[in-house]
C-alpha cells in the first residue's frame, strides 16, 4: 500500500504550473510512473501531491521538422518513439537504446523525458541523446529555459530542475541526422536488466561522437574525434573522462575493460 | 477519494478510489478480480500484466485514478463467455506450462500481446517476448513450447513426445 497523497491531472499549462508552484517541494510530477511509483513504494519518495502531466495534450507531442529537429514531449512513451518512422529514419541510435530499455510493458508507460529526468548513470537514453547533441527544455510558471543535456544532469539522480519546474520536451537537432552508429549495453543476463556499462558511438561525415553510461556519476560525452582517430586515442579520452566504481552489479576493472572493448567493436562497426 | 469509470473485460465499473491506490490493488480489492497477481510490485516480474487501452502494462505501476476512462482486459476476460479456454490457455494446459500458476495470468496476457504483434514468432522471439515475465517453476521451456504449438510450429516429433509427458 502506498502512503496517501493527492492527485491532480490539470489539462491546461497555466493550471499545471500554478498547481506545481503552489505545492513546491511537496509535489512530484507523474508521467509514465515507472520510476515514481517504485520510489514511492520503497519510501524513497514521499510526495503529498502527485501531479500528472498526461492531461496536458501538448506534452504528448512527438514531431520532427528539418529546421528544429526532433521534439520529444514529456509524455512521449518509449514505445511511441520506437514506432515513429522519422525517428527510425533519422536517429537510429535512439531506436537502438530505446529497444534496450526495460521491458515491453514498461516501455508502454515509461517516457523518454522521464528516463533523462531520473538521471541515473545507467539511463539508456542519455548516451545516444548526448551523441546527437540534444537539449533539454524546462518550463515553469516563470517561463522556459533550455540547456544542453550534459549541463542538465549534474550527478547521480541529480539535475538542475527546480521545484515547480518540469522538463517539457527534449530537442534533438538535425546536425547529426544521417549518421551511423550503435549503442552497446552490457547486462548481467540476456533478458531485461539495468546496464552494467554502455557505450554509444555515432559517426557523421568526418566526425565521431562517443558517450558512455554507467561509468561515472553522470553519463559522459567525450570530446569529438576526427573519423580517422585511432582506437587508442578514443580509449585514452574515455579513461580520462570516466570514474567507474565497484558495486553490486560489476567491478570497476570490468567496467573499464568493457568500455574499451565496446569502443573497439563500435569503431569496427562505424568503419565497416 | 476520486470517482473513476473503467471498462474491464467489457463491463463498465464506476467506483470511488483512494488516489494512492494502484490499478492492481483496485482490480483485486475493489473490483474483486483476483486473477491478476502481485509479484514484486516494482515492474520487474510481470505477474500483474494486463491490457490497458490495447497495450500491456504492469498494473502495479499505474494508479487507479490514471485509468479513469480506460479499457482494461485482465485474465478473467481471456476465456470465452461459457468458460471455454482461449487457444493460448489451451496450449498452456496441454504443455504443462503452469506449475504453481502464480505467473500464469500475466504470462498469458504477455503471450497474447506478443502474438497480436507477431503472429508467428520464432523460438528466439518468444524467449525475448516473455523476458518481461518471471516464472520460477517451469524454467520457461514448457511456456515456449506452448507458444510454438499455438502458432503451429511444433514438429511432429515434438508433438509425439507430448503423449508421454
pLDDT tens readout for residues A46-58? 999 999 999 999 9
pLDDT on residue A145:
98
pLDDT on residue B163:
61
B 93-122 → A contacts, CB under 8 A: 110, 113
What class is the B2-76 domain? alpha beta
Cβ contacts (< 8 Å) between B43 and chain A: which residues? 34, 38, 102-103, 105-106
- Grouping H, G, I as helix, E, B as strand and the rest as coil, residue A55 is helix
Q: Which three cell numbers stand for residue B28?
A: 483485486
pLDDT on residue A86:
97
DSSP annotation string for chain B: -EEEEEEETTEEEEEEE-TT-BHHHIIIIIS--TTS--SSSSSSS-TTEEEETTEEEEGGGSBGGGGTT-EEE-GGGTS-TTSPPPHHHHHHHHTT--SS-SSHHHHHHHHHHHHHH-SS--HHHHHHHTTTS--SSSTTHHHHHHHHHHTT---HHHHHHGGG-
A 52-81 → B contacts, CB under 8 A: 52, 54, 79
pLDDT on residue A190:
85
Per-domain residue ranges of chain A: 6-55, 57-172, 180-271
Per-domain residue ranges of chain B: 2-76, 87-164
* Contact of A48 with A34, CB cutoff 8 Å: no
Domains B2-76 and B87-164 share a fold: no
Cβ contacts (< 8 Å) between A106 and chain B: which residues? 43, 58, 61, 132
Q: What is the fold, at CATH topology level, of the domain defined by A57-172? A: 3.30.465
Q: Which CATH superfamily is domain A180-271 in?
A: CO dehydrogenase flavoprotein, C-terminal domain (3.30.390.50)
Residue A189 predicted with pLDDT over 90: no
Per-residue pLDDT tens listing for chain B (165 residues) = 999 999 999 999 999 999 999 999 999 999 999 999 999 999 999 999 999 999 999 999 999 999 999 999 999 999 999 999 999 999 999 999 999 999 999 999 999 999 999 999 999 999 999 999 999 999 999 999 999 999 999 887 777 776 655
Tens-digit pLDDT profile for residues A11-66: 999 999 999 999 999 999 999 999 999 999 999 999 999 999 999 999 999 999 99
pLDDT on residue B39:
97
Interchain pair B42, A41: CB under 8 A:
yes
ipTM metric: 0.95
Tens-digit pLDDT profile for residues A133-170: 999 999 999 999 999 999 999 999 999 999 999 999 99
Architecture of domain A6-55: 2-Layer Sandwich (3.30)
- What percentage of chain A exceeds 70 in pLDDT? 100
pLDDT on residue B165:
54
Q: Which CATH superfamily is domain B87-164 in?
A: [2Fe-2S]-binding domain (1.10.150.120)
Kindly report the average pLDDT of chain A as a whole number: 97
Interchain pair A109, B57: CB under 8 A:
yes
Interchain pair A41, B66: CB under 8 A:
no
pLDDT on residue A208:
98
Question: Is A82 touching B (CB cutoff 8 A)?
Answer: no
Residue A1 predicted with pLDDT over 90: no
pLDDT on residue B124:
95
pLDDT on residue A267:
97
Average pLDDT over residues A221-232: 97
Amino acid at each position: 500500500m502506498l502512503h496517501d497523497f493527492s492527485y491532480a491531472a490539470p489539462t491546461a499549462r497555466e493550471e499545471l504550473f500554478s498547481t506545481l508552484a503552489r505545492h513546491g517541494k511537496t509535489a512530484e510530477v507523474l508521467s509514465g510512473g515507472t520510476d515514481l511509483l517504485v520510489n514511492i513504494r520503497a519510501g524513497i519518495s514521499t510526495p503529498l501531491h502527485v501531479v500528472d502531466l498526461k492531461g496536458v495534450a501538448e506534452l504528448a507531442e512527438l514531431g520532427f521538422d528539418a529546421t528544429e529537429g526532433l521534439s520529444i514531449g514529456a509524455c512521449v512513451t518509449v514505445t511511441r518513439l520506437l514506432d515513429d518512422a522519422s525517428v527510425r529514419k533519422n536517429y537510429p541510435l535512439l531506436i537502438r537504446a530505446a529497444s534496450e530499455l526495460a521491458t515491453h510493458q514498461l516501455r508502454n508507460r515509461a517516457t523518454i523525458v522521464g528516463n533523462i529526468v531520473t538521471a541515473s548513470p545507467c539511463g539508456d537514453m542519455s548516451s545516444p541523446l548526448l551523441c546527437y547533441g540534444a537539449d533539454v527544455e524546462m518550463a515553469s510558471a516563470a517561463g522556459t529555459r533550455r540547456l544542453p543535456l550534459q549541463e542538465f544532469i549534474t550527478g547521480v539522480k541529480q539535475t538542475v530542475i527546480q521545484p515547480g519546474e518540469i522538463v517539457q520536451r527534449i530537442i534533438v537537432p538535425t546536425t547529426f541526422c544521417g549518421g551511423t552508429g550503435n549503442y552497446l549495453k552490457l547486462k548481467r543476463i540476456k533478458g531485461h536488466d539495468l546496464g552494467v556499462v554502455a557505450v554509444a558511438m555515432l559517426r557523421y561525415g568526418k566526425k565521431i561522437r562517443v558517450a558512455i553510461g554507467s561509468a561515472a556519476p553522470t553519463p559522459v560525452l567525450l570530446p569529438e574525434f576526427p573519423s580517422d582517430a585511432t582506437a587508442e586515442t578514443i580509449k585514452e579520452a574515455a579513461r580520462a573522462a570516466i570514474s567507474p566504481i565497484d558495486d553490486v552489479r560489476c567491478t570497476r576493472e570490468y567496467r573499464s575493460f568493457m568500455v574499451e572493448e565496446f569502443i573497439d567493436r563500435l569503431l569496427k562497426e562505424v568503419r565497416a | 477519494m476520486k470517482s473513476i469509470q473503467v471498462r474491464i473485460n467489457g463491463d463498465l465499473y464506476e467506483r470511488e478510489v483512494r488516489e494512492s491506490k494502484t490499478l492492481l490493488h483496485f482490480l483485486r480489492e475493489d473490483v474483486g478480480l483476483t486473477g491478476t497477481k502481485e509479484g514484486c510490485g516494482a515492474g520487474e516480474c510481470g505477474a500483474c500484466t494486463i491490457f490497458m487501452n490495447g497495450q500491456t502494462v504492469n498494473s502495479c505501476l499505474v494508479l487507479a485514478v490514471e485509468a479513469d476512462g480506460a479499457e482494461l482486459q485482465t485474465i478473467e476476460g481471456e476465456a470465452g463467455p461459457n468458460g471455454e479456454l482461449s487457444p493460448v490457455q489451451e496450449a498452456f494446459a496441454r504443455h504443462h506450462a503452469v506449475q504453481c500458476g502464480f505467473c500464469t495470468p500475466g504470462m498469458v496476457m504477455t503471450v497474447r500481446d506478443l502474438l497480436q504483434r507477431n503472429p508467428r514468432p520464432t523460438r528466439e522471439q518468444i524467449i525475448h517476448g516473455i523476458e518481461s515475465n518471471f516464472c520460477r517453476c517451469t524454467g520457461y521451456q514448457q511456456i515456449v513450447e506452448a507458444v510454438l504449438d499455438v502458432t503451429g510450429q511444433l514438429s511432429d516429433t515434438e508433438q509425439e513426445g507430448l503423449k508421454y509427458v
